[in-house]
């Protein structure tokens, strides 16, 4: 039956790591907030991480086991922000339409990212996601 629900593990967001800067200077011991929302969840779930003494951060993969009908569309949103002197700076936003690992990056790991909050935000329309970010990485797609 088409409406029968199937249980499956979905990658809500793939892992991401890299360095956080402001004007080329490392942002040391900064709290990073990652907000996640996915199909079947109304409110964003918050997770917290910190940069080290070199500005390095690591955000792990987040998976959920969901029970969805075959005609339902999986969608997840990820927002990554850092607060500096009481001001919030978004460094990453994406909407993801496929459940596979790295689908928000076009299907493969981007390796380490370099995020400078002084960078201009760029928007990328990939096969199964939209990304808005101040981060840069090797083999970046052309922005739209």
Q: Round to whole Å and give the CA distance between 38 and 117.
A: 26
Residue 114: which domain range?
5-136
User: Distance from first CA to last CA of the chain, Å, rounded?
Assistant: 40
Number of domains in the chain: 1
Helix (H) or strand (E) holding 69: strand 62-69
Cβ atoms of 80 and 56 closer than 8 Å = no
16-22 vs 25-26, strand pairing mode: antiparallel
Please give the model's pTM, rounded to 2 decimal places.
0.91
61-114 pLDDT, tens digit per residue, is: 999 999 888 888 899 999 999 999 999 999 999 999 999 999 888 888 888 999
In a domain, residue 51? The reply is yes
Q: What is the pLDDT of residue 17?
A: 96
Does residue 141 form part of some domain?
no
Strands 5-13 and 62-69: antiparallel
Q: Is 142 part of any domain? A: no
Report the CATH number at residue 112. Answer: 2.60.40
Question: Which pLDDT does position 60 carry in this prediction?
Answer: 97
pLDDT for position 109? 85
- Indicate whether 56 belongs to any domain: yes
Read off the pLDDT of residues 28-55 as tens digits, 9 standing for 90 and up.
999 999 999 999 888 999 999 999 999 9
Pairwise CA distance, residues 13 & 105, whole Å: 10
The answer to the question of residue 144 being in a domain is: no
Which distant-in-sequence residues (6+ apart) come within 8 Å of 133 by Cβ? 91, 92, 93, 94, 115, 121, 122, 124
């Amino acid at each position: 039956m088409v409406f029968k629900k199937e249980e499956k593990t979905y990658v809500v967001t793939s892992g991401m790591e890299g360095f956080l800067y402001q004007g080329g200077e490392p942002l040391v011991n900064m709290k990073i907030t990652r907000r996640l929302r996915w199909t079947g969840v109304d409110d964003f779930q918050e997770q917290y991480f910190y940069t080290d003494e070199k500005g390095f951060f690591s955000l792990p993969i987040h998976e959920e086991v969901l029970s969805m009908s075959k005609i339902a569309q999986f969608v997840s949103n990820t927002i990554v922000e850092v607060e500096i002197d009481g001001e919030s700076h978004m460094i990453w936003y994406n909407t993801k339409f496929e459940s596979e690992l790295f689908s928000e990056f076009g299907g493969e790991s981007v390796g380490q990212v370099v995020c400078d909050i002084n960078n201009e935000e760029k928007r990328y329309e990939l096969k199964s996601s939209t990304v808005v970010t101040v981060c840069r990485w090797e083999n970046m797609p052309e922005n739209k």
